[in-house]
A and B are shown apart, each in its own frame.
Chain A
Amino acid sequence: MGRWGEAQVARHYETAGYVVVDRNWRVRGGELDLVLTRDDEIVFCEVKTRSSDRFGHGAEAVDHRKQRFLRRTAISWLDSHELRGKLRFDVATVVGPRIDVIEAAF
């Protein structure tokens, strides 16, 4: 289900002109769901998929701890890649057919 949500979000970004650089990039202590780029921007996107928001909105699950993990993981990603540019962290939520992308969430 999470994979399916990530694919949906990736398609959403691609229609907006982004290029998917990496998917589910893992390192010890973290994972990046999507890494995308457009012009000189590098976007790290965390995807939260929910079948309904009965148990809280997906974006609420990205708390301070998670944000810290994502930042640290992004730095490891940059260490192992040549790509440079302006960094941005997005959070995308997928609830059923609806996709919400919070750009520059933190």
Chain B
Amino acid sequence: MFKNEEMEINLGPQHPSTHGVLRVKLRLDGETVTHCRPMIGYLHRGVEKICENQSFFQGQVWTDRMDYCSAVANNLGWAEANEKLLGITVPRRAQYIRTLLNEFNRIASHLIWLGTHAMDIGALTVFLYAFREREDVLDINEAFCGSRLTTTAFRIGGLREDLPPGFEKMVRKFLAKFSDCLEEYEALLTENRIWKKRTIGVARLSAEDAIALGVTGPMLRAAGVAYDIRKAFPYAAYAEMDFEIPTRTEADTYARYQVRMAEMRQSARIIQQCMDGMPEGPVMAKLPKILRSEVNEVYHATESPKGEIGYYLVGEKGSLNPYRFHVRAPGFINLQSLPKMAEGGLIADVVAAIGSLDIVLGEIDR
């Protein structure tokens, strides 16, 4: 008598909680999601192809524009991959400054995630609080490299400039208040019953599934796998830093929230150590006038706030630009897990799952 029909609905590409131009094709049975496929490509600019046609120096501005919420982390990966390719050793002071800025970037990126994720679940206030502190991080970015979002912070071989005067004061001021700020966010969320109800047990992704799908970063660590490239394959100055890898075993949205909150604390710790142990010396290696690649190919992975960002560069020996370039974008690969997390849940859980993925479409579509 009554026909039972599933409804197909497009979540995005213009939707308040798809964090950009992600389109998710959902099939709904009432409110339950039976089928979920992310559709990407709305922001495709061909970053990889563009970089192949530019010199090694020029590519970096494009890495800013991939994951624009963590531009510094992208810059770092690009610079280090190129240094490997070109056979350059970076001075120790530059390594420290890179580590410091990278951790600031992690904080900024996680703050954006926290704000938008909380807003997706309906907690409006956290969003504005998180952006308030992110503003300070962007000010620090601005003090260092004159730009707030698309930083182009580093150069192949080190840094363009040393730290500006007054930089240390800014950093110390930020560190002094940041743990209080974290407590402020946690006061609004961590023990909030509605927040817990909305996140605990939601969008589960077990460690096996996560590894099978290639998921990295906080998503993987929330499933209990303590894999962090900063520890596993230390780069920049991470080998000299003392920090922990926060993990949880619940593998749900709440666990991811806890992991990211703990990571921000660890980042602050690393920044503290960088600032305290900052070595003296030059910040730029001696480079030849024209950069020519030394080896044929290199894959260099770093831990971006979203997960493993890998730069795969192929350069014929002696060439002026990369012959082939590919980015292993963490958001792109993490997004594969969305159907696994969302199918069988409710439509509100899809939003929570997307939020807990922490995706930036600039990076996914490249």
Question: A and B from one assembly?
Answer: no
Q: Which residues of A are at the interface with B, using a C-beta cutoff of 8 A?
A: none
